[in-house]
Amino acid sequence: MNRPGLKVNIAGVELKNPVMTASGTFGSGLEYGEYVDLNKLGGVVTKGVASIPWKGNAGVRVAETYGGMLNSVGLQNPGIEEFIKKDIPFLRKHDTKIVVNIAGKTLEEYCSVVERLAGEDVDLLELNISCPNVKEGGVCFGTDTKMVEYMVKEVKKIAKQPLIVKLTPNVTDIVSIAKAAEAAGADAISLINTLLGMAIDIHKRRPVLGNIVGGLSGPAIKPVALRMVYQAANAVKVPIIGMGGIMTGEDAIEFLLAGATAIAVGTANFVNPRATIDILNGIEDYIIKHKEKDITSIIGSLNK
């Protein structure tokens, strides 16, 4: 039997299939490479990288919740120089697309990472203006349409690779944010980042997380993510990478039907290190079962 076509195109970059990893859940693939054949993935989206090393937040950094988890890692990363030295060469040994997630506390910091990557062999950039765990920046850029427009415009001026803008769900109107990113030149949009949440240890009468609040991920957030992907997909023309609580192939299909061109797997990796591959197989099974020609006939194909 012929395998169905799974190729998708994000801003001129062809992915062999729509399954990517969600930033921050997969490192740069080194650890998961022992469990997953990275060559099988459409793309690896790296942990956010900043202009200089970031130590991250003090612990506790994780709290489990019903159907989800909170994290407050705070974008711990080795900085762009170490990243270029180690992470890019490692990923390049594999036949998968490299998407570098970029973190910063100021526009200048974001820009210096983007500039530093200009001559590097990476396929796509993902601008992280949505991390809820860093006080100085990240999410505060992503919640205001004017700020999103300004940031994206400035970064686009110097970016040598196509730019994905990753949006936060912690906003009143996702459509206006998505439109602002597109208007400013975003080549693609990814959503959602984590939802800001909290957990309390009732015996200690203290927040569980050292940072008090953290980002909620996992299947608990999937309906919210799906709704936002659906709304954004109907509002912009650029491709959308959908994520938020995808655990199975069926979950991924929901996002594709809602209008996502590709999907990313995050928290599911912690539950099953081979989740990306299982989800990829699930997508393929669905296409075969429904006798679709290829993946593109699924994308945004909700019956009216």
Catalytic residues: 131
Q: Which is nearer to other proteins, 134 or 178 (CB)?
A: 134
Closest by Cα among 257, 253, 267, 258 to 221: 267
Nearest-approach distance from CB 136 to other proteins, in angstroms: 18
Pairwise CA distance, residues 138 & 131, whole Å: 5
Q: Of all helices (H) and strands (E), which one includes residue 19?
A: strand 19-21
Q: Is 74 annotated as a binding residue?
A: yes
Q: Which is nearer to other proteins, 50 or 178 (CB)?
A: 50
Q: Which is nearer to other proteins, 73 or 257 (CB)?
A: 73
223 CB contacts (<8 Å, ≥6 apart)? none
The angle, 0 to 180 degrees and rounded to 10, between the axes of the packed helices 249-257 and 275-289 is: 60
28 CB contacts (<8 Å, ≥6 apart)? 44, 46, 47, 83, 86, 87, 90, 91
Q: Which is nearer to other proteins, 15 or 36 (CB)?
A: 36
Q: Which is nearer to other proteins, 28 or 130 (CB)?
A: 28
Nearest-approach distance from CB 213 to other proteins, in angstroms: 15
Q: Is 266 annotated as a binding residue?
A: yes
Nearest-approach distance from CB 7 to other proteins, in angstroms: 24
Partnered with residue 19 across adjacent β-strands are 263
Q: Is 42 annotated as a binding residue?
A: no
Instruction: Name the region of 21 (left: φ>0; alpha: ψ -120 to 50; beta: rest).
Output: beta
Closest by Cα among 245, 263, 244, 267 to 253: 263
Asked if the bond preceding 192 is cis, omega within 30° of 0, the reply is yes
Q: Is 12 annotated as a binding residue?
A: no
Q: Environment class of residue 172 by beta-carbon count within 10 Å: exposed (0-12), middle (13-18) or buried (19+)?
A: exposed
Q: Is 237 annotated as a binding residue?
A: no
Nearest-approach distance from CB 227 to other proteins, in angstroms: 21
Pairwise CA distance, residues 117 & 153, whole Å: 17
Structure tokens at 249: 């192939």
In the complex, which residues of this chain contact other proteins (CB under 8 A)?
Answer: 24-27, 31-32, 34-37, 47, 53, 55-56, 58-64, 66-69, 71, 73, 76, 218-219, 267, 269-274
Residue 98 phi/psi, 5-degree rounding, is: -100, 120
Nearest-approach distance from CB 66 to other proteins, in angstroms: 5
Q: Is 48 annotated as a binding residue?
A: yes
Nearest-approach distance from CB 175 to other proteins, in angstroms: 30
What letter represents residue 188's amino acid?
A: A
Closest by Cα among 214, 296, 287 to 249: 287
Q: Which is nearer to other proteins, 177 or 275 (CB)?
A: 275
Q: Is 59 annotated as a binding residue?
A: no
Which residues are known binding-site members for FMN? 23, 47-48, 101, 128, 166, 192, 218, 244-245, 266-267
Which residues are known binding-site members for substrate? 47, 71-75, 128, 193-194
Which residues are known binding-site members? 23, 47-48, 71-75, 101, 128, 166, 192-194, 218, 244-245, 266-267
